[in-house]
């Protein structure tokens, strides 16, 4: 394993379900220390890609290297060094926030005392201290996302894989999370995230890749991707969906009586 | 609209049923055998009621049969803590569907919990029609009475389900109340054993016409038809009113209003010390996993109820057989403690080792993402259930001592050893079942075990318990405790090997099928929740 190479290297990655390729020959390199945005329309293959990177699902073909180590051969060591915020909840509803964080800390081989201490601190930072003894089942969607992010940090990983981390989070919580992520990148961590909120990606990320129908259609540094005065949204729509036609729903657009 | 809801339900089940045909066929075969048994029993009822005898005898037998059918229909779901199919109102309330339509579907779904009794009722009706005293000319009375009886029970069952479900989600005393429900089932025996005068019992005997089952019985045989019909209709009306009222109350019910405020725990409570026990003799991450499992299971009402039932249900079921012969305890009484301990383990099975990821649901992906060997996850879950069983055996032992069953310290030790042996075999197979047949469990719902799980439980129990049974056979045949110990030691050793092999298989299967497991545990049900 090397500490100077790219954080993520994906070579010719494919995932086929029946006759459909959800990911179709993906090639991707994520530099270490970068804030990497992975964008795509619905059903493009973003979540499938992240699930393959984390080892949740095996690829049909292709190779994955994280932090210089191959998946699945060095799976256990890789998992020790990455933090994950999945799209779907990885939380145990019948534990309190504090219990869950302490539990996750111990999953990453932290001693009980240290896990508890870090859990308390993380809850403080993510403004969940007031809810630390409430069961997670009583948390709102935004609180659950913040807790999931706190859990991804407890073992101080080098690489973060985040699938829609800001979904359902209010502006205050999102600001908190963004500031934290920027700080992590400044200290040398690598962040790989997917998001539908292009303004956030544009503000935070220094590298971006756009996936459509299982393939990368654009990739590079943020300033290189945006040509001239184009926004990221302009680039995104142009590369994936500008010429999409939609049917005219006459029954929906008809003027109502009296209006 | 009803057709649309039922079609949506059918489509949502279609893929699940077809996914693994061999196990579906296996479950279907078990279902066939189960309902075949009830069909055979119904045939027996047909023969019984075909016998030409006095009307008084027929009425007495009919009233008793209908009373037992009523008790089974209403109490069996409570005793098994499972209520079968029901409407998932949370998914349907947003649509402009009249509440009366929901109610109609709900009532129809209640028929799914009464299939056995409908078979028995059909058998009884067929018997009366074959009886020379009544014959085919009595068909209108028989059919009318049977339909009224079925309708009364269906409505009562629908109402009772909603009451229990709401109360289950809000009451602090649900475990205690379930004990009361269970105790009701042995009330007749208690009445007899406490020598209540017969005359007093007969005044409220099941054949008195004011009881709903007796009214239906009198109607079926054409005795005092007008009084019977009016009484049955009044009871039917009451049952309909009860079920409709409870159903509409459920539409407005919001469980979150009854959530307990958070409690600030000061210092180390007793429960916290219990949760921390695994850390004393297990290393992390296994200790952390076991601790997490204990916390979670202790906070799920459904698990607590089943745990309490596992402690006392065996005793209640077997008590009459055990205390029947007072002078010298027979074989059954001598071995009651190990039998009840194993029965308790069986009761916990569907919520723990047969489907060990059920309550984790989508959080199970953590086991595949965290740097922990899967093997340790299974072992931690199994250890947790084993730790739960120790107090269970202790409680059963204590109650057994109170009712003067054979309950020496030696018997306690024997029960623990038998429990460990049974657990090795059941946990082994359970770990494989958990990765082959995972399904999400809603902690707030009291649903039925899936057909495949039921099949697995039924078919595996005799086979897996065989080594333990052989130990008792050895003791009985050779009249030697040494023979028992020797065979039990072999059973334990074989159990250890079996557990190890199954664990290996489960870990490999989980790695290979992780995507399917995640999908199954994240699956949401159709508009009707079943399991």
Mean pLDDT of B338-348: 83
Choose the final residue of a domain: B202, B229, B256.
Answer: B256
Partner-chain contact A89 B265, CB within 8 Å: no
Q: What pLDDT, on a 0 to 100 scale, did the predictor assign at position A57?
A: 85
Give chain B positions within 8 Å (CB) of A90.
362-363, 365-366, 369
Partner-chain contact A135 B515, CB within 8 Å: no
Partner-chain contact A79 B514, CB within 8 Å: no
Q: Does A106 touch chain B (CB under 8 A)?
A: yes
| pLDDT greater than 80 at residue A134 | yes
Same domain, B247 and B288: no
Q: Does B285 touch chain A (CB under 8 A)?
A: yes
* Any domain includes B18: no
- All domains in chain A, ordered by first residue: 8-243 (3.40.50.300)
Map tokens 């239906």 to a residue: B216
Q: What pLDDT, on a 0 to 100 scale, did the predictor assign at position B144?
A: 92
Q: Does A69 touch chain B (CB under 8 A)?
A: no
Mean pLDDT of B283-295: 92
Which of A 43-62 lie inside 8 A of B, CB atoms?
54-58
Q: Which residue of A has its CA nearest to B365?
A: A90
Higher pLDDT, B393 or B406: B393
As a whole number of Å, the CA-based R_g of chain B is: 25
Nearest to A95 among B265, B295, B518 (CB): B295
Partner-chain contact A94 B296, CB within 8 Å: yes
Residue from B257, B262, B277, B516 whose CB has the most chain A CBs within 10 Å, to mutate: B262
| pLDDT greater than 80 at residue A152 | yes
Choose the final residue of a domain: B233, B256, B279.
Answer: B256
* Any domain includes B19: no
Residue from B260, B366, B445 whose CB has the most chain A CBs within 10 Å, to mutate: B366
Same domain, B319 and B246: no
Q: Which residue of B has its CA nearest to A95?
A: B296
Partner-chain contact B292 A92, CB within 8 Å: yes
Same domain, B373 and B477: yes
Query: Which tokens in the block code for residue A194?
Result: 């997917």
Q: How many CB pairs under 8 A join A and B?
A: 80
Same domain, B334 and B214: no
The count of domains in chain B is 2
Same domain, B243 and B290: no
For B54-105, the pLDDT digits (tens) are 888 888 888 889 988 898 888 776 665 555 666 666 666 666 677 788 888 8
| First vs last C-alpha separation in chain B | 23
| pLDDT greater than 80 at residue B462 | yes
For B112-167, the pLDDT digits (tens) are 778 888 999 999 999 999 999 888 888 999 999 999 999 999 999 888 888 877 77
Q: Does A114 touch chain B (CB under 8 A)?
A: no
Q: Calculate the average pLDDT of chain A.
A: 87
Same domain, B515 and B380: yes
Same domain, B285 and B182: no
Same domain, B102 and B226: yes
Q: What pLDDT, on a 0 to 100 scale, did the predictor assign at position B276?
A: 85
Q: Does A86 touch chain B (CB under 8 A)?
A: yes
For B492-528, the pLDDT digits (tens) are 999 999 999 999 999 999 999 988 898 888 876 555 5
**B286 touches B380 (CB < 8 A):** yes
Q: Does B368 touch chain A (CB under 8 A)?
A: yes
**A176 touches A140 (CB < 8 A):** no
Whole-model pTM?
A: 0.78
Q: What pLDDT, on a 0 to 100 scale, did the predictor assign at position B22?
A: 60
- Helices (H) and strands (E) counted in chain A, each on its own, are 10, 10
Can you give the residue range of the structural domain that contains B299?
270-529
Partner-chain contact B369 A58, CB within 8 Å: no
Q: How many whole angstroms separate alpha carbon A129 and alpha carbon A137? A: 16
Give chain A positions within 8 Å (CB) of B287.
106
Q: Does B443 touch chain A (CB under 8 A)?
A: yes
Q: Which residue of B has its CA nearest to A57?
A: B515
Q: What pLDDT, on a 0 to 100 scale, did the predictor assign at position B161?
A: 80
| pLDDT greater than 90 at residue B193 | no
Nearest to A107 among B285, B514, B522 (CB): B285
Mean pLDDT of B281-299: 90
Exposed, middle or buried by CB within 10 Å (0-12, 13-18, 19+), for B449?
Answer: buried
* Any domain includes B25: no
Query: Which tokens in the block code for residue B239?
Result: 């049952």
Partner-chain contact B264 A133, CB within 8 Å: yes
* Any domain includes B178: yes
Nearest to A90 among B259, B366, B371 (CB): B366
Q: Which residues pair with A159 in a beta bridge?
A: A82, A190
Same domain, B464 and B521: yes
Min distance A80 CA to chain B CA atoms (Å): 6
Task: Look at B112-121, B277-286, B303-312 and tell me which has the smallest mean pLDDT.
Answer: B303-312
Map tokens 């005065």 to a residue: A229
Partner-chain contact B296 A95, CB within 8 Å: yes
Give chain A positions within 8 Å (CB) of B296.
92, 94-95
Map tokens 């190890």 to a residue: B500
A106-128 burial, b at 16+ Cβ within 10 Å, e below that, comes to bbbebebeebbebbeebbeebeb
Q: Does B279 touch chain A (CB under 8 A)?
A: yes
* Any domain includes B441: yes
Min distance A136 CA to chain B CA atoms (Å): 11
**A236 touches A44 (CB < 8 A):** no
Measuring CA to CA, how many Å separate B485 from each of A32, B332, B341, B453, B464?
63, 19, 18, 32, 18
Nearest to B360 among A57, A92, A107 (CB): A92
Same domain, B276 and B243: no
Q: What pLDDT, on a 0 to 100 scale, did the predictor assign at position A209?
A: 93
Nearest to B292 among A57, A84, A95 (CB): A95
- Helices (H) and strands (E) counted in chain B, each on its own, are 24, 2
CB atoms closer than 10 angstroms to residue B340? 29
Tell me: cis bond preceding B87? Omega within 30 of 0 counts: no
Higher pLDDT, B30 or A32: A32
| pLDDT greater than 60 at residue A247 | no
Min distance A78 CA to chain B CA atoms (Å): 8
Give chain A positions within 8 Å (CB) of B443.
93-94
Query: Which tokens in the block code for residue B313?
Result: 């249900």
Min distance B2 CA to chain A CA atoms (Å): 26
Q: What band does A141 get if pLDDT is binned at 50, 70 and 90?
A: confident
Give chain B positions within 8 Å (CB) of A148.
none
Q: Which of A157, A51, A65 is nearest to A108 (CA)?
A: A157
Partner-chain contact A56 B518, CB within 8 Å: yes
Q: Which residue of A has its CA nearest to B291?
A: A103
Task: Look at A112-121, B24-33, B356-365 and tell me which has the smallest mean pLDDT.
Answer: B24-33
Q: Which residues pair with A8 in a beta bridge?
A: A30, A66
| pLDDT greater than 60 at residue A167 | yes
Q: Which residue of B has its CA nearest to A130?
A: B262
Q: What pLDDT, on a 0 to 100 scale, did the predictor assign at position B17?
A: 46
Give chain B positions within 8 Å (CB) of A134.
262
Q: Does A74 touch chain B (CB under 8 A)?
A: no
Min distance B34 CA to chain A CA atoms (Å): 36
Q: How many whole angstroms separate alpha carbon B429 and alpha carbon B346? A: 13
Higher pLDDT, A29 or B25: A29
Give chain B positions within 8 Å (CB) of A106.
284-285, 287-288
* Any domain includes B434: yes
For B437-447, the pLDDT digits (tens) are 888 887 776 65
Q: Does B284 touch chain A (CB under 8 A)?
A: yes
Q: What pLDDT, on a 0 to 100 scale, did the predictor assign at position B30?
A: 74
Give chain B positions within 8 Å (CB) of A57.
514-515
Query: Which tokens in the block code for residue A29?
Result: 């390199």
Higher pLDDT, B468 or B261: B468
Partner-chain contact A56 B292, CB within 8 Å: no
* Any domain includes B317: yes
Give chain A positions within 8 Å (CB) of B522.
88
Contacts (Cβ under 8 Å, ≥6 apart) of B476: B331
DSSP, residue by residue, B41-108: HHHHHHHHHHS---HHHHHHHHHHHHHHHHHHHHHHHHHTT----EE-HHHHTTS---HHHHHHHHHH
Mean pLDDT of B231-237: 93
Residue from A94, A141, A143 whose CB has the most chain B CBs within 10 Å, to mutate: A94
Q: How many whole angstroms separate alpha carbon B394 and alpha carbon B400? A: 10
* Any domain includes B390: yes
Q: Does B522 touch chain A (CB under 8 A)?
A: yes
Give chain A positions within 8 Å (CB) of B366.
90, 104, 107
Q: What pLDDT, on a 0 to 100 scale, did the predictor assign at position A186?
A: 93
Same domain, B287 and B250: no
Q: What band does A155 get if pLDDT is binned at 50, 70 and 90?
A: very high
For residues B366, B369, B374, B377, the Cα torsion angle rounded to the nearest 10 degrees is -30
Measuring CA to CA, how many Å separate B191 from each of B115, B182, B183, B185, B197?
30, 15, 12, 11, 9
Q: What band does B21 get if pLDDT is binned at 50, 70 and 90?
A: low
| pLDDT greater than 60 at residue A242 | no
Same domain, B411 and B313: yes
Q: What band does B184 get if pLDDT is binned at 50, 70 and 90?
A: low
Min distance A183 CA to chain B CA atoms (Å): 24
Q: What pLDDT, on a 0 to 100 scale, did the predictor assign at position B59?
A: 85
Q: Which residues pair with A71 in a beta bridge?
A: A64
Choose the final residue of a domain: B192, B222, B256.
Answer: B256
Nearest to B288 among A57, A80, A103 (CB): A103
Q: Which residue of A has its CA nearest to B263?
A: A133
Q: What band does A1 get if pLDDT is binned at 50, 70 and 90?
A: very low
CB atoms closer than 10 angstroms to residue A168? 14
ipTM tops 0.90: no
Q: Calculate the average pLDDT of chain B.
A: 80
């Amino acid at each position: 394993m090397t500490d100077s190479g790219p954080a993520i290297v994906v070579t010719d990655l494919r995932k086929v379900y029946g006759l459909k390729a959800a990911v179709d020959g993906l090639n991707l390199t994520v530099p270490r220390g970068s804030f990497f945005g992975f964008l795509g329309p619905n059903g493009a293959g973003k979540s499938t890609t992240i699930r393959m990177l984390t080892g949740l699902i095996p690829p049909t073909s292709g190779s994955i290297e994280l932090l210089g180590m191959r998946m699945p051969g060095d799976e256990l060591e890789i998992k020790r060094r990455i933090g994950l915020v999945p799209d779907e909840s990885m939380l145990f509803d019948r534990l309190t926030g504090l219990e869950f964080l302490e539990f996750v800390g111990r999953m990453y081989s932290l001693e009980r005392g240290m896990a508890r201490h870090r859990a308390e601190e993380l809850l403080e930072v993510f403004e969940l201290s007031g809810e630390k003894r409430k069961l997670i089942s009583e948390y709102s969607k935004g609180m659950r996302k913040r807790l999931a992010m706190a859990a991804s940090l407890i073992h101080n990983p080098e690489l973060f894989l985040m699938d829609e981390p800001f979904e359902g989070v209010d502006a205050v919580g999102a600001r908190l999370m963004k500031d934290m992520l920027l700080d992590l990148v400044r200290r040398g961590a690598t962040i790989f995230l997917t998001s539908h909120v292009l303004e956030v990606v544009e503000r935070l990320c220094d590298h971006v890749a756009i996936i459509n129908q299982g393939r990368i259609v654009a990739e590079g540094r943020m300033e290189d991707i945006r040509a001239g005065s184009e926004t990221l949204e302009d680039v995104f729509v142009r590369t994936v969906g500008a010429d999409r036609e939609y049917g005219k729903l006459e029954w929906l657009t008809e003027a109502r009586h009296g209006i | 609209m009803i057709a649309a809801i039922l079609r949506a339900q059918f489509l949502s089940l279609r893929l699940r049923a077809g996914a693994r045909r061999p196990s579906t066929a296996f479950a279907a075969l078990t279902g066939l055998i189960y309902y075949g048994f009830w069909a055979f029993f119904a045939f027996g009822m047909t023969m019984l009621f075909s016998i030409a005898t006095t009307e008084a005898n027929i009425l007495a037998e009919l009233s008793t049969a209908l009373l037992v059918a009523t008790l089974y229909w209403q109490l069996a779901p409570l005793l098994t803590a499972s209520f079968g199919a029901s409407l998932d109102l949370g998914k349907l309330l947003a649509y402009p569907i009249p509440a009366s339509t929901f109610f109609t579907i709900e009532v129809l779904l209640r028929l799914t919990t009464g299939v056995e009794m409908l078979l028995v009722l059909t058998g009884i009706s067929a018997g009366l029609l074959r009886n020379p005293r009544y014959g085919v000319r009595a068909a209108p009375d028989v059919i009318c009475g049977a339909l009224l009886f079925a309708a009364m029970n269906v409505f009562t069952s629908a109402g009772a389900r909603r009451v229990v479900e709401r109360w289950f989600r809000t009451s602090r005393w649900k475990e205690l109340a379930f004990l009361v429900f269970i105790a009701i089932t042995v009330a007749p025996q208690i009445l007899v054993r406490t020598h209540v005068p017969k005359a007093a019992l007969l005044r409220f005997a099941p054949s008195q016409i004011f009881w709903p089952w007796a009214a239906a019985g009198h109607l079926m045989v054409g005795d005092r038809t007008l009084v019977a019909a009016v009484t049955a209709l009044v009871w039917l009306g009451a049952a309909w009113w009860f079920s409709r009222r409870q159903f509409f109350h459920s539409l407005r019910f919001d469980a979150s209003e009854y959530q307990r405020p958070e409690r600030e725990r000061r210092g180390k409570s007793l429960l916290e010390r219990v949760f921390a026990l695994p850390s004393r003799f297990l290393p992390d991450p296994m200790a952390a996993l076991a601790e997490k499992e204990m916390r979670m299971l202790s906070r799920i009402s459904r698990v607590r109820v089943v745990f309490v039932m596992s402690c006392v249900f065996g005793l209640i079921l077997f008590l009459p057989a055990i205390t029947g012969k007072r002078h010298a305890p027979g074989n059954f009484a001598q071995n009651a403690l190990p039998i009840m301990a194993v029965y308790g383990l069986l009761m916990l099975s569907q919520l723990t080792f047969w489907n060990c990821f059920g309550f984790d649901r989508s959080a199970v992906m953590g086991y595949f993402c965290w740097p922990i060997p899967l093997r340790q996850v299974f072992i931690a879950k199994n250890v947790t259930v084993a730790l739960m069983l120790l107090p269970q055996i202790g409680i059963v032992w204590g109650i057994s001592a109170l009712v003067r069953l054979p309950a020496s310290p030696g018997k306690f030790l024997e029960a623990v050893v038998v429990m460990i042996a049974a657990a090795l075999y059941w946990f082994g197979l359970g770990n494989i079942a958990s990765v082959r047949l995972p399904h999400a469990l809603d902690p707030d719902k009291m649903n039925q075990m899936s057909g495949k799980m039921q099949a697995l439980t039924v078919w595996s129990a005799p086979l897996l318990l065989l080594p333990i049974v052989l130990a008792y056979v050895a003791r009985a045949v050779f009249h030697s405790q040494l023979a028992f110990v020797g065979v039990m030691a072999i059973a334990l050793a074989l159990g250890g090997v079996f557990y190890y092999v199954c664990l290996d298989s489960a870990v490999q299967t989980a790695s290979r099928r992780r995507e399917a497991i995640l999908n199954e545990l994240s699956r949401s049900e159709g508009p009707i929740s079943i399991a």
